[in-house]
Structure 1
Amino acid sequence: MSGKLTFISGGVRSGKSAYAEKLLIKGAITAESRLVYIASGRAVDEEMKKRIEKHQLDRAEQAWTTIEQPANLYEALPFIQQNDFVLWDCLTTWLANELYTKQDGQFCIQLDGCMENKAKQMLETVDEIRKKSAHLVIVSNEVLDEFPSPYKETKKYSEWIGRLHQKLVALSDDAIEMDYGLPQYWKREGQVAVR
């Protein structure tokens, strides 16, 4: 039997990570289970370094087991234990990392079929994590509300994040969009929310 899957998206600083952490902490305390944080961020610049440090400080009070996994999500599988409460933060960072990994001397974004294979593998890994965990929460940034970009690679990124959001929401038990620190449930326990 698979564990619960919750998908949370929202804009930058919308409170999505904090809300995801609260959901999992409450469940893990009740179940007396382990908290696991799969981190996709890379400290590539000073701003990202500060954001990572803030997330680490936010989690310091709880005993989170952190798995640094900026790409190749499947490599995190051996570290997930039965009935873990798992947070993967975040899909958008993972996608950028994967699109710009090199394969045969080129970036994945430049190769036909490359991202299709990575997306398939990621979705299979999410399914495997669900089979082990009690609850998996996936966090993603809402970037599709922004003005369309004239740049080819940015358009490709937007297309991919849109596809992945749709696939993950379809698989999810709950789908939440965060605005101003408030959760808007678009899907709850298999039901589409009516607004």
Structure 2
Amino acid sequence: MARGQLVFISGGVRSGKSAYAEMLVRDTGKSRRIYLASGQAYDEEMIERIERHRKDRQEDGWLTIEQAYSMANVLQELEPDDLVLWDCVTTWLANELYEGWETGNMCADIEDCMEQKWGKLQETILEMLNTVHSLTIVSNEVLDDFVRDRLYQSWLGRIHIWLVQQADQALEMENGLSFRRK
């Protein structure tokens, strides 16, 4: 089976990376466009934002799949010609790394918890690439001011290195401009 194309886009908060990723996917072709959203609604404001974004994407021809945690849950919904955009790695990582914080039993504090989640995500990404036409993945910069947690930054850096190694194209966004890194 032919492997789908992987595009990885990184950039700072408000760098234009998500809008650029949407444009790239939209311009790729007429196939079904799938938007994998990994944000979670913790309050009324976030619920409204998620619903507004989903409605905007739907009006633009996107099918949105909300998947905050296990990306493997979407595999059965994907088709060979799909153009998939996952926005974004950083929210997935925060969801997984800090899962259980409210009980004081965070994944980050449990031996091998993140290793297992990361291994499953790698398998899932490779399986997606064997299923779909293209997969575009968006992420924030590793040293973004938004999160200054060293463990988080370390995991994000590790994930970015692997994604760049796997990617057919790796881009960095800065002030709405893209720079090819691979």
Q: Is TM more than 0.5 here?
A: yes
Consecutive unaligned residues in structure 1, runs of 5 or more: 188-195
Q: 1:66, CA displacement in angstroms?
A: 1.1
Q: Which residue type is aligned with residue 75 of structure 2?
A: L
Q: 1:35·1:84 contact (CA, 8 Å) conserved in 2?
A: yes
Q: 1:99, CA displacement in angstroms?
A: 1.1
1:11 aligns to what? 12
The verdict on how the C-alpha distance between 1:34 and 1:146 changes in structure 2, with shifts beyond 3 A counting, is: same
Q: 1:6·1:175 contact (CA, 8 Å) conserved in 2?
A: yes
2:79 aligns to what? 81
Q: 2:57·2:63 contact (CA, 8 Å) conserved in 1?
A: no
Q: Provide the identity percentage.
A: 50
Question: For the aligned residues, what is the CA RMSD?
Answer: 2.2
Indicate whether 1:166 and 2:164 are aligned: no
Q: 1:83, CA displacement in angstroms?
A: 1.4
1:25 aligns to what? 26
Q: What is the distance in 2 between the residues matched to 1:53 and 1:175?
A: 30
Q: What is the distance in 2 between the residues matched to 1:70 and 1:85?
A: 19
TM-score, normalised to structure 2's length?
0.90
TM-score, normalised to structure 1's length?
0.84
- For residues 42-95 of structure 1, give each alpha carbon's deviation from its aligned partner in whole angstroms, at most 9, with x where no partner exists: 122456445534533542432211111000111111111111000001000000
| Secondary structure in 2 matching 1:106 | coil
Q: What is the distance in 1 between the residues matched to 2:146 and 2:140?
A: 15
Q: 1:3·1:134 contact (CA, 8 Å) conserved in 2?
A: yes
Q: 1:155, CA displacement in angstroms?
A: 1.1
